Amino acid sequence: MNQRVPFYKHQLDSIEQESIAKSLKSEMLSSGPKCVEVEQQLKVFFNVKNCKLVNSWTNGALATLLAMNIGPGDEVIVPSMTFIATANVVEILGATPIFCDVDSETLLMTLDCVKSLVTPKTKAIILVHLYGQMCDVKSFKDFFGSTEIKLIEDCAHSFESDYKGDKPGTYSNAAIFSFYATKNITCGEGGAIITNDDELYEVIEQTVLHGMTVGASKRHENGAFKVWDMNVLGVKANLPDILASLLPSQISNAMTKLDLRIQKVLNYDTHLDLTDAKIPVRHHKGVHAHHLYPIYIPNGLRNYAIKTFMDEGIGVTINFRPVHEMNYYRNRYNIRNSELKISSDWGSGVISLPLYPNLEESNQNRVIDTLNEKIAPRLRKAAKS
Ligand SMILES: *Cc1c(COP(=O)(O)O)cnc(C)c1O
């Protein structure tokens, strides 16, 4: 029997075990000195003024949108080719997600995709750096910078990325990361918000913690109890120190781990028979974080491909079915696929292959052999008929 090839494997090890054990000995298990330390580390990594660790991308985005005072009557432009959370956070707050399509080659949002969707109700645009390749945030900043429209970056795939040398957080009002179990950097559940906007950050510090004016760790500062109030509505988005303790070593090693992922990517690029399949175009305008290795299986053969991989014990997944096609959004907004053609088409055929720094060579070869020997011939036949 062949060894199973999991879709994802984390690489947390003895360093993280020691770190979490230390954390358990501290007095308070909630957000404390460890979070402050990691926030400092992230501020340096991204060269930004402010950083707040959160317990998920989703809660971080809710806190950010709340701090921007976004709610009923407001519109937020989001891509349909993304994970549902990007749109859900808008919907949860009673605002309306306006779905945009993406560039046909890179599958990224561009100014051209977004411009025609802007109305007087548009309050924000969430730019998704899909699969680890960054959108041109500066072009959005140049166009929208003089308006009230806020730019938010969904960096769930793009921790290591840059665009022409500019990292996330450089041109947006806020950039939000995910440290969920399958992301490049993970603490099981977690995330971070970074921003250079001091005024916004002051409110985010409150909206991540119920809206309280003084956070728990600061209530007893300098020996005196600080009476707190609540000026804005917030969520409970703070990350506990226990989970934050898993992050410092991963952040330090992020670029080394990226190099290992790039080797796997090049191996796929060189050896996969993609004659009748395709991968997104890489724009080569900066560092690609290669969070995922997506390939498009045409001619309605995706289910066949998934079954073939699964029969071989190889974990594959779909990133993503377009959000507007989800039952909830279909029932609510009924957007036709012809209105979001590129996202709908890509979403009908995309699968992601296993990709992580410790993916064994023999296992990766099995993924390649399975595609080339069992799936590609079937694609060839379908392409001819
Ligand atoms: C994973 C993911 C999220 C959600 O992250 P959580 O930390 O699980 O809330 C949001 N956007 C994209 C593009 C993602 O892949």
What would the pLDDT profile of 102-125 be if each residue is shown by its tens digit? 999 999 999 999 999 999 999 999
Question: Mind listing the pLDDT tens digit for each residue in 294-310?
Answer: 999 999 999 999 999 99
**H or E element, residue 41:** helix 33-46
Residue 152: per-residue pLDDT: 98
Give the model's confidence band at 1: pLDDT under 50 very low, under 70 low, under 90 confident, else very high.
low
Distance between CA atoms of residues 80 and 348, nearest Å:
13
Distance between CA atoms of residues 227 and 154, nearest Å:
35
Distance between CA atoms of residues 292 and 268, nearest Å:
12
**Which ligand 1 atom is at minimum distance from the Cα of 182?**
1
Q: Is 128 in the pocket of ligand 1 (CB under 6 A)?
A: yes
Distance between CA atoms of residues 301 and 335, nearest Å:
25
Average pLDDT of the segment spanning 146-158: 98
* Residue 158, both tokens: 């793009």
- Measured in Å, how far apart are the chain's first and last C-alpha atoms? 35
Q: Cα of 86 to ligand 1 centre, how many Å?
A: 7
- Do residues 90 and 66 lie in contact, with contact meaning Cβ atoms separated by under 8 Å? no
Closest of 219, 103, 82, 218 to residue 152, by C-alpha = 82
Q: Pairing state of beta strands 191-195 and 50-54?
A: antiparallel
**Which ligand 1 atom is at minimum distance from the Cα of 183?**
1
Residue 217 has pLDDT above 80, yes or no: no
Question: Mind listing the pLDDT tens digit for each residue in 55-67?
Answer: 999 999 999 999 9
Atom 1, ligand 1: residue with shortest CA distance: 156
Q: For all residues of the chain together, what is the average pLDDT?
A: 96
Residue 221: per-residue pLDDT: 75
Give percent helix, percent strand, percent coil of the chain, each to the nearest 5. Answer: 40, 15, 45
Distance between CA atoms of residues 190 and 60, nearest Å:
9
Residue 224: per-residue pLDDT: 81
Residue 220: per-residue pLDDT: 74
Ligand 1 site-directed mutation target among 58, 129, 155, 193, most atoms within 8 Å of CB: 58
- Do residues 168 and 178 lie in contact, with contact meaning Cβ atoms separated by under 8 Å? no
Residue 153 has pLDDT above 60, yes or no: yes
Q: Cα of 63 to ligand 1 centre, how many Å?
A: 15
Give the model's confidence band at 225: pLDDT under 50 very low, under 70 low, under 90 confident, else very high.
confident
- Do residues 280 and 349 lie in contact, with contact meaning Cβ atoms separated by under 8 Å? no
Residue 144 has pLDDT above 60, yes or no: yes
**Which ligand 1 atom is at minimum distance from the Cα of 128?**
13
Residue 216: per-residue pLDDT: 64
Distance between CA atoms of residues 76 and 150, nearest Å:
9
Atom 5, ligand 1: residue with shortest CA distance: 57
Which amino acid, one-letter code, is at 28? M
Q: Is 171 in the pocket of ligand 1 (CB under 6 A)?
A: no
Ligand 1 site-directed mutation target among 8, 64, 83, most atoms within 8 Å of CB: 83
Give the model's confidence band at 223: pLDDT under 50 very low, under 70 low, under 90 confident, else very high.
confident
**CA dist list (Å): 310 to 5, 6, 277, 317:** 9, 10, 19, 10
Q: Which of 140-149, 191-200, 218-227, 324-333 bottoms out in mean pLDDT, i.e. has the lowest? A: 218-227
Distance between CA atoms of residues 135 and 191, nearest Å:
20
Phi, psi of 154 (to 5 degrees): -90, 105
Phi, psi of 356 (to 5 degrees): -160, 155
Q: How many CB atoms lie within 10 A of CB 360?
A: 11
Residue 3: per-residue pLDDT: 83
Question: Mind listing the pLDDT tens digit for each residue in 332-370?
Answer: 999 999 999 999 999 999 999 999 999 999 999 999 999
Distance between CA atoms of residues 164 and 123, nearest Å:
27
